[in-house]
Structure 1
Amino acid sequence: MDLLKPSAANSSPLTPLGFLERTATVYGDCVSVVYNDLSYTWSQTHRRCLQLASSLTSLGIKRGDVVSVVAPNVPAMYELHFAVPMAGAILNTINTRLDARTISILLRHAESKLVFVDVLCRSLVLDAISLLPPATQSPLLFFITEEANEMVAVDDDRTYEGLIKKGDPSFKWVRPENEWAPMILNYTSGTTSAPKGVVHCHRGIFIVTLNSLIDWSVPKHPIYLWTLPMFHANGWTFPWGMAAVGGTNICLRKFDAAAIYRAIHKHGVTHMCGAPVVLNMLANAPNVQPLPRPVHFLTAGAPPPSAVLLRTESLGFIVSHGFGMTETGGIVISCAWKSEWNRFPATERARLKARQGVRTIGMTAIDVIDPKSGESVRRDGSSIGEIVLRGGCLMLGYLKEPAATSVALSDKGWFFTGDVGVMYPDGYVQIKDRSKDVIISGGENLSSVEVESVLYTNPAVNEAAVVARPDEFWGETPCAFVSLKKSSTQKPSEKEIVEYCRARLPHYMAPKIVVIMDELPKTSTGKIQKFVLRDMAKGLNSSQQLSRI
């Protein structure tokens, strides 16, 4: 046995890019992507990705270069998940809801060589490019256009489709030299002054993609509706997952409840993902009848309220809940529903679904440990500790941040999530709080520190603290508590402070409520007691909440 070793034949690098190649062979005539009146087959999608990868290499994009994209869920966004790494480059998807300043910081940190821009995001990205330091080399820009938005004139040589036309459909795509080669760069919602760029390798994305398909029991040929933005952790790996199972991707540029229900009925949708806010949208849509056939809905983040779960399930949605982070590449803890739980009362079912669950099949281990002793906490559902993970789909590390990488991926063999939770006697985990004070609003992870930093730029603000306030629609929204300087002659109102933040932050990050206090509660050492403020935020009446915009 000792003489048996890995060889070239049995140790080819794992990569999810091969899923597309296989599906083009097996399901070549099946529909791959549908968008409005446009549709492609899997053989066409495969060919288009090869042509684009070919053109990227002709432009000088080489192995290890970063290629960014700022676009909604259109066919080009789907194809770029294959074409960019097929050129040997690293794909970086950027949230279209960010402001120009933040995008500029990310492009500079990533050292992006080329940016694909949806034409409707053109002014946003051009503003971001203008904010780059003079000595910084600006990335090449290519625009994703379509007939519906041709009001912006773009030279064909600078368009996405123009690149595809020039490409070689017989291009031999650039396979990774080894499976640990970087493939994906995603940014967390940390402070823009110190962005955390999460790097994933081909091997990790391969593992978490298969992990997601198995855990969600995705069959061959699902009809998948893209309500989850692909810029959110690469759509939880389902761009590659849908290729693996020969599914049909129904793309939507933007949507509301009516658009989702129309798509479900028109295309026979079987699967979709989204934040709890999408579930809430579907549950509260007027004049909705139960679906003719079940639709599987995967959600993550803050667990949906029991009333929303009951309503959506009565409409025919089969809801699964899980946990993942940018650093995990996808969902790695799932509720793992047991059939006997269906006999429980509705309130008990909702309580069980609120738990994040157990490790998915592709993870090695999860635990809840005492961060001081490093020992596992008692499995009693009440002993608090930090949730830690171990498995092949975890990130390689943070780009240009060796110290932060060392802290997160400790020498103890665990990835420290920064989330605190409990372990139940049956081995299921539930998150109880976020030690990093991250707020999950409508599926977006917001950093309280970043919002606080903006509040502190207001000349009238003395102290500021931002916490999560529960919200039936968004899951959580930022709630700010501030004290004002006694020396300030012009004291702003709560509404004026909200508007101040909205002028300096993406609107979804700005506090929905601001509470002005004489002094913020503190410990004996002078640290602001955020747990006190969280309790106060929970008690605020809905009448105190400013209208949503």
Structure 2
Amino acid sequence: MSIYQEGLSQSPVNHIALTPLSFIERTANVYPDYPAIIHGAIRRTWSETYQRCRRLASALVNRGVGAGDTVAVMLPNIPAMVEAHFAIPMSGAVLNTLNVRLDAEAIAFMLNHGEARVLITDREFHAVIREALKLIDRPILVVDVDDPEYGEGEAVSDLDYEAFLAEGDPEFAWHWPNDEWQAISLNYTSGTTGNPKGVVYHHRGAYLNAMGNQMTWSMGQHPVYLWTLPMFHCNGWCHPWTITALAGVHVCLRRVDPQKILNLIHEHGVTHMSGAPIVLNALVNMPESAKAAIDHPVKAQVAGAAPPAKVIGAVEDMGIEVMHVYGLTEVYGPVTLCAWHDQWNELPLEERAHLKSRQGVRYPTLEGVMVADPVGMQPVPKDGKTIGEIFMRGNTVMKGYLKNPEATAEAFEGGWFHTGDLAVCHPNGYIEIKDRLKDIIISGGENISTIEVEDTLYKHPAVMEAAVVARPDEKWGETPCAYITLKSGQQVNEACITEFCRQHLAAFKVPKTVVFTDLPKTSTGKIQKFVLRDWAKAI
């Protein structure tokens, strides 16, 4: 026996399960009178917020909710959503955040599949929730949220959220999970190719990724965080827990509105926000007079498809510092970032923006990332050219897919999580996504990165948004098809776009088809390429 084992045992004195629930207890005790929530006219301190969370947890327990039960929420970015991220796990239950843009059938599937005992829902979604409730095969307690900043919609339950909280004890003695591997939340994937899969997070992973956000973003104490990112998406990338740990301020935003974003940044001194590239694009395209509202440093964490270099440059010109991150629902949101080097500040704007568009290196809280051959799983050369699939492993990878051992085994085959994203690895170890495995275009035997073509399209002064997908072609197998949304007041035709691309791309990469339209998007602002692929097949 090693000398470091004899008499040095694990006990409650020196070992306790990691959980992000500990963050709110500490913050409420250390900074009880500091601001925690801003939502319209609502102002709440950390002491008040902690009491409300304990009330909700207590009320759930009083209604029979306990360990292993599921509590679903259909909520926008309002105070009740922040409270749910603490109160529901405090009761021992698992938080299931529902995508507020989904239809009744999809919502019903999730409520049934996740075996939800309780549903907390905002009145805005009364119509879809009523239809979904008709389709579920289990009894469910529905709690109605009447947001004073909305004032519309209809109640779907006689049980009001504030009345429900009043049932609970503000001094409720919640307990740490017995095991940090215990589930804390359930998040469903988009389900674009069938029923969505239920991704299960555990307390340990949520704790670590919340800390990873702080470590990589250097947020410091008391950040003022604007909720431009939906909290239902990967639990808001774990930021409900991160901001709380840092005794920051949650500035709620019911729906993304570029003018309101600028107003809130100015009014409350917002320091941080997150979202898809479309959020930044919306700000860039606001009038100069509106953009002048940003009169202090603001940091933006952006994920999704790589932001076009032109957008990153334009956002930096506004005074917003962009940090590009990458992740998936299966890994708690962002787990890699383009870690910045001081010497890069001396580079021209275009080159800096190009570097920032890379997905970069792993968070300190993720143990492994590699770009490798999808079949043999051998790492590709670090040459910035050889394409492979991104693989991950570590404490911030999901427990697995709920009730789907086959899909879990497939995703974890070979001891790594298979992301399905294709990338190259540069000599400095930074990864750069080239496409989704399902999005890469193979035309006449040549691989075409849709991201490369899209980045070129964004350089055109008339283009506001662009997405490229494969269109079937008898001769070439498939060719690039570009869908474009023009900026207001701009008019260009297909020939102009094609000629512009010829000046910047190899001939085989130039879109053979150009369609001007509004792009279909998910509720998190991601362009729905599966819809565009269907459109392209019908052309």
337, 340, 343: which one pairs with 2:340?
Answer: 337
1:433 aligns with 2:435: yes
Residue 15 of structure 1: CA displacement?
0.2
Question: In 2 relative to 1, CA 269–32 (structure 1 residues): closer, same or farther, beyond 3 Å?
Answer: same
Deviations 1:207-243 (A, max 9, x none): 1110111111111001111111101111111100111
Q: Secondary structure at the match of 1:96?
A: coil
Question: In 2 relative to 1, CA 152–376 (structure 1 residues): closer, same or farther, beyond 3 Å?
Answer: closer
Question: In 2 relative to 1, CA 228–238 (structure 1 residues): closer, same or farther, beyond 3 Å?
Answer: same
1:14 alignment partner in structure 2: 18
1:545 alignment partner in structure 2: 517
Deviations 1:91-122 (A, max 9, x none): 01111111111111111111111111101111
1:176 alignment partner in structure 2: 177
Unpaired runs of 5+ in structure 1? 440-466, 482-518, 524-528
Q: Which amino acid aligns with 2:360?
A: G
Question: In 2 relative to 1, CA 121–477 (structure 1 residues): closer, same or farther, beyond 3 Å?
Answer: farther
Measure the CA separation in 2 of the matches of 1:76 and 1:385: 42
Conservation of the 8 A alpha-carbon contact between 1:276 and 1:474: no
1:59 aligns with 2:63: yes
370, 374, 394: which one pairs with 2:373?
Answer: 370
Residue 175 of structure 1: CA displacement?
2.3
Deviations 1:501-544 (A, max 9, x none): xxxxxxxxxxxxxxxxxx75499xxxxx56666888945435x3
Measure the CA separation in 2 of the matches of 1:268 and 1:120: 29
Residue 373 of structure 1: CA displacement?
2.2
311, 318, 325: which one pairs with 1:308?
Answer: 311
Conservation of the 8 A alpha-carbon contact between 1:382 and 1:422: yes
Deviations 1:121-176 (A, max 9, x none): 111111111133xxx11422111113355555649951111111111111111421
Residue 546 of structure 1: CA displacement?
5.2
1:105 aligns with 2:105: no
Measure the CA separation in 1 of the matches of 2:144 and 2:233: 21
Conservation of the 8 A alpha-carbon contact between 1:335 and 1:356: yes
Conservation of the 8 A alpha-carbon contact between 1:212 and 1:330: no
2:197 alignment partner in structure 1: 196
1:317 aligns with 2:320: yes
Measure the CA separation in 1 of the matches of 2:239 and 2:423: 28
Measure the CA separation in 2 of the matches of 1:194 and 1:385: 27
Q: In the TM superposition, what are the counterparts of 1:27-426 in structure 2 within 5 Å?
A: 27-132=31-136, 136-150=137-151, 154=155, 158-191=159-192, 193-286=194-287, 287=289, 288-289=291-292, 291-410=294-413, 412-426=414-428
Conservation of the 8 A alpha-carbon contact between 2:238 and 2:333: yes
Q: Secondary structure at the match of 2:299?
A: strand
Q: Secondary structure at the match of 1:19?
A: helix
Q: Which amino acid aligns with 2:79?
A: P
Residue 365 of structure 1: CA displacement?
1.7
Question: In 2 relative to 1, CA 429–547 (structure 1 residues): closer, same or farther, beyond 3 Å?
Answer: closer
Conservation of the 8 A alpha-carbon contact between 1:19 and 1:243: yes
Deviations 1:430-460 (A, max 9, x none): 1111114499xxxxxxxxxxxxxxxxxxxxx
Question: In 2 relative to 1, CA 522–333 (structure 1 residues): closer, same or farther, beyond 3 Å?
Answer: farther
Aligned length: 475
Q: Which amino acid aligns with 1:292?
A: D
Question: In 2 relative to 1, CA 129–480 (structure 1 residues): closer, same or farther, beyond 3 Å?
Answer: farther
TM-score of the pair, normalised by structure 1:
0.82
Conservation of the 8 A alpha-carbon contact between 2:470 and 2:481: no
Deviations 1:233-292 (A, max 9, x none): 111111001110000111011231110111011101111111100000111101232722
2:526 alignment partner in structure 1: none
Q: Secondary structure at the match of 2:116?
A: coil
Q: Secondary structure at the match of 1:79?
A: helix
Percentage of identical aligned residues: 42
| Higher mean C-alpha deviation, range 156-165 or range 25-34 | 156-165
Q: Which amino acid aligns with 1:207?
A: L
Question: In 2 relative to 1, CA 68–480 (structure 1 residues): closer, same or farther, beyond 3 Å?
Answer: farther
Measure the CA separation in 1 of the matches of 2:281 and 2:168: 43
Deviations 1:62-96 (A, max 9, x none): 11111111111010011100000001000011111
Residue 197 of structure 1: CA displacement?
0.5
Question: In 2 relative to 1, CA 193–390 (structure 1 residues): closer, same or farther, beyond 3 Å?
Answer: closer
Conservation of the 8 A alpha-carbon contact between 1:157 and 1:163: no
Measure the CA separation in 2 of the matches of 1:120 and 1:438: 38
1:453 alignment partner in structure 2: none
Compute the RMSD of aligned alpha carbons: 2.5
Q: In the TM superposition, what are the counterparts of 1:509-528 in structure 2 within 5 Å?
A: 520-521=473-474
Conservation of the 8 A alpha-carbon contact between 1:276 and 1:475: no
1:516 alignment partner in structure 2: none
Q: Secondary structure at the match of 2:339?
A: coil
Unpaired runs of 5+ in structure 2? 442-449, 483-507, 522-539
Measure the CA separation in 2 of the matches of 1:240 and 1:419: 27
Question: In 2 relative to 1, CA 400–521 (structure 1 residues): closer, same or farther, beyond 3 Å?
Answer: farther
Q: Secondary structure at the match of 1:61?
A: coil
Conservation of the 8 A alpha-carbon contact between 1:105 and 1:192: no
Residue 409 of structure 1: CA displacement?
1.7
Q: Runs ≥4 in structure 1, deviation > 6 angstroms?
A: 534-537
TM-score of the pair, normalised by structure 2:
0.83
| Higher mean C-alpha deviation, range 250-259 or range 151-160 | 151-160
Measure the CA separation in 2 of the matches of 1:154 and 1:537: 52
Conservation of the 8 A alpha-carbon contact between 1:30 and 1:42: yes
Question: In 2 relative to 1, CA 148–267 (structure 1 residues): closer, same or farther, beyond 3 Å?
Answer: closer
Q: Secondary structure at the match of 2:48?
A: helix
Question: In 2 relative to 1, CA 243–177 (structure 1 residues): closer, same or farther, beyond 3 Å?
Answer: same
Measure the CA separation in 2 of the matches of 1:157 and 1:264: 37
Measure the CA separation in 2 of the matches of 1:474 and 1:336: 28
